[in-house]
């Protein structure tokens, strides 16, 4: 029976991998999950205004939950822009469905809720599920995610992933173009962007804190090389391991851009978007996951918590409900070259192990 489950999990993965859909457009993905749940006789809720769904098995007043993110990235692969599951969400869906498969015929004195969440890559899909009751009455929440080879080796599993916090800035320098022979008649937007870049690189927090801020987009100028551009667009990616460190970075960048605006005498507009909080990991939930890992694959395969500068909107669930005890399990599957690489690959034999570990975690929760 276990072997049949593994074949089914791999078949599900093959389907989701071959049919990637970007954030908020996971229509076929949602429909496929619904059809699988229909075949398994599992009840679920869909929504008229967003993709994703919520399923539930078991009985009892206590509710534990697990979340699977279902969206793909929009990415250039071999010169073609397309949906691409280079973050491994196709694997996450398959492992969570696999856990459901292992649990659905067990007698449980609690409910297990399965949250198939859209738009993790946009950073706000979790909030859409919270608004639709995903964590109502939930005491413990679990997630699962493949990890790059430099974080976890093949077969190693971590009981928690300590993601960092992240936020993005999009800005515009607004001014008039000038002739290349008459620079005094305008303000060179490239000079302004360069000043912003230099300022961002000069920000320092305490040296024992992990953080970074860097420009990730600059658009300025056109086809005519004798025109000094007065306007430009730019973006900044800001990350920190702790939420309060991110807030410090954000304040410093706001103050710096305001100062540069006055220094150059130009108009600069900017806005912050897609805030993703850092992890608030529950020691209790982490211990439950660790015991499940030991039980399923042995103590020698249990790894320490993973600390990563990457972010995940999974942690919005604990922001919205601070009493919620949560952790995300990390799976070592020889994933390389890395998450979000267009040619990311991993060892698919870990999908069944991940599903069994997740099922055992939910049983013990």
Does 258 have pLDDT greater than 90? yes
Distance CA 29, CA 92 (A): 13
148 and 175 together in one domain: no
Distance CA 256, CA 197 (A): 10
Number of independent structural domains in the chain? 2
Does 362 have pLDDT greater than 90? yes
pLDDT digits (tens, 9 = 90+) for 300-310: 999 999 999 88
Does 244 have pLDDT greater than 60? yes
pLDDT for residue 2: 58
pLDDT digits (tens, 9 = 90+) for 93-127: 999 999 999 999 999 999 999 999 999 998 889 99
Domain that residue 93 falls in: 2-164+278-364
226 and 202 together in one domain: yes
Which of 276, 308, 333 lies at the terminal end of a domain, its last residue? 276
pLDDT for residue 299: 98
pLDDT digits (tens, 9 = 90+) for 186-220: 999 999 999 999 999 999 999 988 999 999 999 99
Q: What single string gives the DSSP state of each residue in 62-73? A: -EEEEEEE--BE
pLDDT digits (tens, 9 = 90+) for 4-32: 899 999 999 999 999 999 999 999 999 99
Q: What is the DSSP letter of 24?
A: T
Distance CA 117, CA 127 (A): 10
Distance CA 115, CA 131 (A): 13
317 and 360 together in one domain: yes
Which of 259, 276, 293 lies at the terminal end of a domain, its last residue? 276
* Integer angstrom CA distances of residue 70 from 127, 129, 178, 305, 359: 15, 13, 48, 24, 19
160 and 170 together in one domain: no
106 and 35 together in one domain: yes
pLDDT digits (tens, 9 = 90+) for 266-288: 999 999 998 999 999 999 999 99
Distance CA 95, CA 5 (A): 11
pLDDT digits (tens, 9 = 90+) for 220-230: 999 999 999 99
117 and 263 together in one domain: no
Using alpha carbons only, what angle is made at residue 39 by residues 34 and 44, rounded to the nearest 5 degrees? 40
Question: Which of 101-118 are b and which e, b meaning 16 or more Cβ less than 10 Å from the residue's Cβ?
Answer: bbbbeeebebbbbbbbbb
Distance CA 200, CA 223 (A): 29
Averaged confidence pLDDT in the chain: 96
121 and 265 together in one domain: no
23 and 126 together in one domain: yes
pLDDT digits (tens, 9 = 90+) for 49-87: 999 999 999 999 999 999 999 999 999 999 999 999 999
pTM (two decimals): 0.86
56 and 186 together in one domain: no
Does 322 have pLDDT greater than 70? yes
Does 3 have pLDDT greater than 70? no
* Integer angstrom CA distances of residue 291 from 158, 288, 296, 299, 363: 11, 5, 9, 9, 11
pLDDT for residue 274: 84
Task: Find residue 138's DSSP bridge partners.
Answer: 63
Distance CA 276, CA 123 (A): 6
CATH of the domain at 264: 3.30.70.360
88 and 236 together in one domain: no
């Amino acid at each position: 029976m276990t072997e049949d489950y593994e074949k089914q999990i791999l078949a599900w993965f093959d389907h989701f991998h071959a049919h990637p859909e970007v954030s908020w457009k996971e229509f076929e993905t949602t429909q496929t999950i619904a059809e699988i749940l229909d075949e398994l006789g599992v009840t679920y809720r869909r929504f008229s205004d967003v993709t994703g769904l919520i399923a539930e098995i078991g009985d009892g007043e206590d509710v534990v939950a697990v979340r699977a993110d279902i969206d793909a990235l929009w990415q250039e692969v071999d010169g073609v822009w397309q949906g691409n599951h280079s973050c491994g969400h196709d694997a996450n869906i398959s492992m969570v469905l696999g856990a459901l498969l292992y649990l659905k015929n067990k007698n449980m004195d609690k409910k297990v809720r399965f949250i198939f969440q859209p738009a993790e890559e946009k950073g706000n899909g979790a909030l859409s599920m919270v608004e639709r009751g995903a964590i109502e009455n939930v005491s413990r929440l679990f997630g699962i995610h493949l990890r790059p080879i430099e974080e976890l080796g093949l077969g190693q599993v971590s009981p928690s992933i300590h993601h960092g916090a992240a936020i993005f800035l999009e800005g515009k320098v607004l001014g008039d173009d000038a002739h290349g022979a008459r620079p005094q008649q305008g303000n060179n937007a490239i000079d302004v962007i360069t000043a912003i870049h230099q300022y961002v690189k000069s920000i320092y927090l305490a040296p024992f804190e992990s953080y970074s801020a860097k420009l990730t987009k600059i658009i300025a100028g056109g086809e005519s090389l004798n025109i000094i551009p007065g306007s430009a667009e730019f973006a900044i990616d800001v990350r920190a391991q702790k939420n309060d460190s991110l807030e410090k970075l954000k304040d410093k960048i706001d103050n710096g851009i305001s100062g540069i605006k006055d220094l150059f005498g130009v108009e600069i507009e900017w806005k912050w978007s897609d805030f993703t909080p850092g992890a608030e990991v529950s020691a209790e939930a982490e211990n439950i996951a660790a015991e499940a890992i030991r039980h399923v694959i042995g103590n020698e395969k249990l790894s320490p918590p993973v600390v990563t500068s990457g972010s995940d909107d999974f942690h919005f669930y604990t922001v919205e409900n601070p009493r919620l005890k949560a952790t995300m399990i990390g799976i070592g599957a020889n994933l390389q070259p890395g998450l979000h690489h267009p040619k990311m690959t991993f060892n698919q034999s870990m999908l069944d192990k991940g599903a069994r570990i997740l099922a055992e975690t939910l049983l013990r929760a």
